[in-house]
Amino acid sequence: MRHLIAVLVSTTALIATPMAFAGGDAAKGKTTAMEKACLGCHGMDGNSPAPTWPKIAGQGKSYIVKQLRAFRDNDMKKSGRVDPVMAPIAATLNDEQIDNLAAFYAGQKPSTGESTNENVKLGLQIYRGGDRTRGIPSCMGCHGPTGAGNPASGHPRLAGQWAAYTEKQLLNFKAELR
């Protein structure tokens, strides 16, 4: 009986999270990144030089795959993600290229962010405990104690991300644009 339960749990986990085990060839992903001009916005190593574009270095493979497919589908109802800049670029990608790009960027070292002491204190307070008066839940519950993300659940890395990009995405969630 234990064996049957273990098989059922394992099978359910594999069905529920197929992208968690995404493969991909990082070397081919780097080539694709250069061919598709990903490096122009996301930097040579996935650490975007501009605060309006996300740092994707060190992001989980499954998260990158999910986002690129969502951009490619460009259907808010289906994917929950629409972006006028990324959609035409992602539309040129096939599944193998997406897996390769994910392997490349996931393997890059993320850069750290900078902030003032005042912002760090408030940010840590909200990150760890949320803000009940404004209905803001703790970020740590989904994104982990260090902000490294949770690949198993598909929650992205936040540590080192640009403040301007993070703010934009939080406002998009609030407005139900994501």
Rounded (to 5) percent helix, strand, coil in the chain: 55, 0, 40
- Residue 22's pLDDT is 54
For residue 37, pLDDT beyond 60: yes
* Mean pLDDT, residues 1-6 taken together: 42
pLDDT above 80: residue 140: yes
Whole-number CA gyration radius for the chain: 17
Judge whether 32 and 24 are in contact, CB under 8 Å: no
What domains sit in the chain, N to C, each tagged with a CATH number? Answer: 17-111+154-178 (1.10.760.10)
Q: How far is the C-alpha of 97 from the C-alpha of 33, rounded, in Å?
A: 9
- Average of per-residue pLDDT across 142-169: 92
Rounded to an integer, the average pLDDT of 5-34 is: 63
- E strands in the chain: none
Give pLDDT, residue 55: 97
The reported pTM is 0.82
Q: Which residues lie across from 150 on neighbouring strands?
A: 155
Look at residue 16 in the predicted model and tell me its pLDDT.
Answer: 40
Per-residue pLDDT for 13 more than 80? Answer: no
The mean per-residue pLDDT over the stretch 44-67 comes to 95
Helices (H), the chain: 2-16, 26-35, 38-42, 61-73, 76-79, 86-90, 95-106, 117-129, 140-143, 163-174
Question: 107 or 83, which is more confident?
Answer: 107
CA neighbor of 157 nearest in space, from 70, 65, 56: 56
Give phi and psi for 155, each to the nearest 5.
-85, 130
The SS3 assignment for 63 reads helix
CA 83 to mean position of chain CA atoms: 14
Nearest to 20 by CA among 10, 5, 29: 10
* pLDDT tens digits for range 113-129: 777 778 888 889 999 99
Tens of pLDDT, residues 56-90: 999 999 999 999 999 999 877 777 788 889 999 99
Tokens of 136: 């803001």
Report which of residues 11 and 132 the model is more confident about: 132
